[in-house]
Homo-oligomer: A and B are copies of this chain.
């Protein structure tokens, strides 16, 4: 069976490229002394989690407890849950996972979330590790890097079923950076902020054992990082338009593409393919377009609807694709593209195709 035999649109993963990406990151992190705790939100599969573990990852990261379910069922018990546990449903869910063997670390940024997690510790008679989340400029979750961090760390330490392990930052604003020089500067600046904060905490007898920083662009710039101890990249396994545009990867490092077929040519100026937002997700990119067409830098996916992608020639000329022709599209944001698919096709080193179930898809809770 070859790619020509596959129905479209379908997600295709180049196993050789993905493994190279994993190996390169693992080697660099090891050489620089960083713990590597990959975020599984990109691949969402125990298959790749095992490959990451075999390469020496210190554990895994998940965002939601439903993602933890998948990884715990596959035997991964050292997980950072990078999300505050709020509400009785999530408290009971985490308690069940702990009873199943999970040894979680949880990030949080409020006393309310600490109190909630303390109750889970009580319910399970366990001590749960905590990273206090710090806002390094993304302005999503995270306390500003000031006295509130020490206050919350001390509060966590005061609770009998919690253990303050350190800090977590996620500079998500760097994900769409398009200038590699600016990216390096932003990573350096985040590290400076973290370094100042850690020094302040140490002077108050608060020594973080873990300082965890997220993101593939950040991990790609790990030479700029002095004060973090742990990297949590996710996208690096597959890469996408955003990581390439940021300078964190090259096009040949993009392992995941959506295979699509030209289904309509109503006008010389555009072609319609059968991959829309249900195959690629709607996530945009500041450069415009909805993905990069492999081998065809002259073409742009100018519009998506749910089941259609519109391809135009970059300079506004005629498009030379025929009905029935197939293309491969590198998604703008591979995590959200993968999240649309129940399964992908894995192309092995020998060209053989095997099904890769995306077991963590749809785990929104």
Query: Which residues of A are interface residues toward B (Cβ below 8 A)?
Result: 5-10, 41, 63-64, 83-84, 86-87, 89-90, 93, 109-110, 112-113, 135, 139-144, 172, 261-267, 270, 272, 274, 277-279, 281-284, 303, 305-308, 310, 322-324, 335-336, 339-342, 362, 364-365
Shortest CB-to-CB span from A198 to chain B, Å, is 19
Please measure, in the bound complex, the distance between the C-alpha atom of A172 and the C-alpha atom of B84, giving whole angstroms: 40
Chain copies in the assembled complex? 2
Which of B86, B274, B282, B310 makes the CB contact (< 8 A) with A263?
Answer: B86
Q: Is the CB of A305 within 8 A of B139?
A: no
* 28 A-B residue pairings within 8 Å (CB atoms): A7-B89, A8-B87, A10-B365, A64-B307, A84-B264, A86-B262, A86-B274, A86-B323, A87-B324, A110-B323, A112-B324, A113-B323, A139-B270, A139-B310, A141-B263, A141-B264, A141-B266, A142-B266, A143-B266, A144-B266, A274-B365, A277-B283, A277-B336, A282-B284, A306-B336, A339-B340, A340-B364, A342-B362
Q: Is the CB of B84 within 8 A of A263?
A: yes
Q: Is the CB of B283 within 8 A of A282?
A: yes
Please classify the interface of chain A as helix (H, G, I), strand (E, B), loop, or mixed, using the class held by over half of its residues. Answer: loop
Nearest to A143 among chain B residues (CB) is B266
Which of B6, B41, B112, B277 makes the CB contact (< 8 A) with A89?
Answer: B6
Residues of B with C-beta under 8 A to A277: 281-283, 336
Q: Is the CB of A83 within 8 A of B139?
A: no
Please measure, in the bound complex, the distance between the C-alpha atom of A323 and the C-alpha atom of B87, giving whole angstroms: 9
Please measure, in the bound complex, the distance between the C-alpha atom of A278 and the C-alpha atom of B63, giving whole angstroms: 12
Which of B112, B140, B270 makes the CB contact (< 8 A) with A308?
Answer: B140
Residues of B with C-beta under 8 A to A324: 86-87, 112
- Contacts A7-B365, A83-B274, A110-B264 aside, 17 further interface pairs with beta carbons under 8 A come to A6-B89, A10-B365, A83-B307, A84-B264, A86-B274, A110-B266, A110-B323, A113-B323, A140-B310, A144-B267, A274-B365, A277-B281, A278-B336, A278-B362, A279-B364, A307-B364, A341-B362
Nearest to A111 among chain B residues (CB) is B323
Please measure, in the bound complex, the distance between the C-alpha atom of A29 and the C-alpha atom of B135, giving whole angstroms: 54
Nearest to A283 among chain B residues (CB) is B282
